[in-house]
Amino acid sequence: MTPTKTKPAPRRSQEQRSAETRERLFRATLDLICEVGFERLTTAMIARRAGVSKGAQTHHFPTRNDLLVGAFIYLTEIWERARIAFEATQPERIPLEDYIRYLWRDIFSKPVYLASIELMLAARGDVDLRERIMAVLDDWIEIRDTAFWTSIDLNMSKQDASAFMHLTLSVLRGMATNASFNRDATENDAVFETWLAMTRHYLKV
């Protein structure tokens, strides 16, 4: 339906095409892990969903693990963009409670977060995948922690803050996992508010 009858619009540059195809494959991978779970995920499924041929897929990602690692990196980039967007709306020193709310709202409560859990659990059984996923995770953790220590308003010792941060992450991880198989969708809301209440209690004293 291109109305222009001039020359057939030159194909985009190699770089553009490549980047677009890769991103389509990443999105398809993450979507499918969410929808059908990691166990059922196949490379053929991903290619079909992404709208690319099997040939194009293997051209960009010779092995399945290459694609999985790429999708995981892509996910951490989504998280990083969310962090930047959030911090742009916040003051220099972000109140802890606001930070926790952001973590739940923008990261952990998203269905795609489960994809990262499935990916990490699955990586346990595959040495190659495990090492590569762990390396990506190390990078992400460093970025996350740096942001945490420089932007969040904390009034406790470094040691306490570290344990508290990891506890918070465990709470959110547990809630995310729970959300995928509990029957009462509202249950997590009450749990989250209880966590915030306990946080206020703990920090005030």
Partner DNA sequence: ATAAATATACCAACCAGACGGTTTGTAAAT
Partner DNA sequence: ATTTACAAACCGTCTGGTTGGTATATTTAT
> Where on the chain is the footprint of its own copies (CB under 8 A)?
35-40, 114, 117-118, 120-126, 133-134, 137-138, 160, 162-164, 166-167, 169-175, 177-178, 180-181, 183, 187, 190-191, 193-195, 197-198, 201-202, 205
> 150 contacts which partner out of DNA, its own copies, none, CB within 5 to 8 A by kind?
none
| Eight-state DSSP code of residue 156 | S
Residues 33, 115 contacting (CB under 8 angstroms): yes
- Of 17 and 124, nearer to DNA (C-beta) is 17
Given candidates 17, 93, 105, 200, which one binds DNA under the rule CB under 7 A? 17
Q: Which stretch binds DNA (CB under 7 A): 27-35, 46-54, 172-180, 181-189?
A: 46-54
**Which two structure tokens, joined as six digits, stand for 58?**
């293997």
Given candidates 4, 14, 89, 159, which one binds DNA under the rule CB under 7 A? 14
95 bridge partner residues: 153
Residues 70, 61 contacting (CB under 8 angstroms): yes
Q: How far apart are CA 43 and CA 55, in angstroms?
A: 11
Q: How far apart are CA 147 and CA 145, in angstroms?
A: 5
> 178 contacts which partner out of DNA, its own copies, none, CB within 5 to 8 A by kind?
its own copies
Look-up of token digits 């749990």: 191
